[in-house]
Amino acid sequence: MATKAILKRQLIQITHDIWTLILLIIAPLLVIFFSNVFYLNHIKPHTAQWFFQSGSLLCVLSFIFPCLTAAIAMLRDKKLGTLELTLMAPVTRGQVILGYLIGIGIIFAAQTLILLLFSIFIFHWSFSWTFILLYILLLIESITAIEIGLFIAACAKNPLKIFLYMTVIIILQIINWGQTAGWLPVISIIIPVNYSVDSVTSMFLHGYILSGFFLNIAALIVFCLLFFTLNIWVLQKIRRV
């Protein structure tokens, strides 16, 4: 019941303002459209670089918006005192996190599907049954992003810290660590978007699913479980306070 109540509250808060909902859908589509017009059109289509850049754009957008929305949702509940009241009720912290995760996740499951379909249309990608696996990959990435956003908001004590943390997180996601020098490529191990980009690019270049695809999905699932556990730990500290 607690999970259902939190889930319902998140859905109402996001869908209550129709313009917010429209922006969540339209904003990433506009980014893809203008990136294609002003940048990707100057790269030779269906080359390794073109596939990498277009795939990276899709993966980064599938991460940023869920992460930001989750952080704002948690921050709002902390400021209003809703989170503290919820934690005082006879609920487990896992139920609280699950409520946020499902509530926000439903919105972004739809957004991810729209984003993927729009990308296929704009970039003229050709897919068969691999479309389903690509959607699952992006969906798991979005869930990971939601949990990271919740973790950032739960740890931060004021909006400024959330802004600073989110800036660092977003910058880390958009850097192509694989092409950096020295020891820097090692950082890609802890960057969730890196696993999505690797899978999407490999799928485009080879035209079929490689074994690494499922390893990347497994890595994203590990991130999900890790941040789910960390969120429970952080909420435990809030509850004690």
Per-residue pLDDT of 69-103, as tens digits, reads: 999 888 888 888 887 887 787 788 888 899 899 98
Residue 144 pLDDT level (bands cut at 50, 70, 90):
very high
Contacts 24+ apart (CB under 8 A), 20-27: 21/107, 24/65, 24/69, 24/107, 24/111, 25/111, 25/114, 27/65
Q: Which residue has the higher pLDDT, 90 or 63?
A: 63
Residue 47 one-letter amino acid: T
Q: What is the mean pLDDT of the chain?
A: 83
Domain that holds residue 175: 2-240
Tell me the HSE value of 118 on the side-chain side, using a 13 A CA sphere: 21
Whether the Cβ atoms of residue 208 and residue 126 lie closer than 8 Å to each other: no
| Domain total of the chain | 1
Nearest to 210 by CA among 192, 195, 189, 225: 195
pLDDT of residue 214: 83
Residues 170 and 163: their CA atoms lie apart, in Å, by 11
Higher per-residue pLDDT: 15 or 164? 164
- pLDDT band with cut points at 50, 70 and 90 for residue 127: low
- The pLDDT of residue 176 is 66
Size of the chain, expressed as the number of residues it contains:
241
Between 51-60, 162-171, 178-187, the lowest mean confidence (pLDDT) is in 178-187
Instruction: Measure Cα distances from 178 to 62, 97, 167, 175 in Å.
Output: 20, 33, 21, 9
Say what the pLDDT of residue 39 is.
81
Spatial separation of the C-alpha atoms in residues 198 and 211, rounded to whole Å: 12
Check: pTM over 0.75? Answer yes or no.
yes
Tell me the CB-side half-sphere exposure of residue 167, using CA atoms within 13 A.
6
Confidence of residue 110 (pLDDT cuts 50, 70, 90): very high
Residue 178 scores a pLDDT above 60: no
| Rounded distance between C-alpha atoms, residue 199 and residue 211, angstroms | 10
